[in-house]
Amino acid sequence: MSVPQHPQQQVILQHAPEPTVLSKLTMGAMMGSLVGLTIGFIGGGFQILRAGPGPRGALATLSQYMLSSGATFGFFMSIGSVLRTESALRDDERWRAAFRAHGNRVSIAERARRE
């Protein structure tokens, strides 16, 4: 009695393309600006309640706090998001190459366990 042969399946793993520097910059700026606007709203609202709205009124004072906080935090967050994000695949391949260069063996099972 013969065992039926099953056709081989080929599995191709594809990684999503890495975001560009401009998209990382924009994403960081958007996140930072939203957080900064929120912090500006809380801090500005507290300052208006504590010291009064001033000669320009409450809305103008609150908007100045929110915009300055949002712009500052968005600027630094956009730079930080570009600096802190690197490709995991490139980094992984660099470590493997350095490991092999020193005569060590890299097993594929370690990679499958992490994923």
Pair 33, 63: CB distance under 8 Å: no
Q: Which helix (H) or strand (E) covers residue 23, if one does?
A: helix 21-51
Angle at 20 between CA 19 and CA 26, to 5 degrees: 90
Cβ atoms within 10 Å of 46's Cβ, excluding its own: 11
Other beta carbons less than 10 A from residue 94's beta carbon:
12
pTM for this model (two decimals) = 0.61
106: which 2 tokens?
């890299």
**Which helix (H) or strand (E) covers residue 29, if one does?**
helix 21-51
Per-residue pLDDT of the chain (115 residues; tens, 9 = 90+): 666 666 666 656 666 777 788 888 999 999 999 999 999 999 999 999 999 998 999 999 999 999 999 999 999 999 998 888 765 555 667 777 777 777 766 665 555 445 5
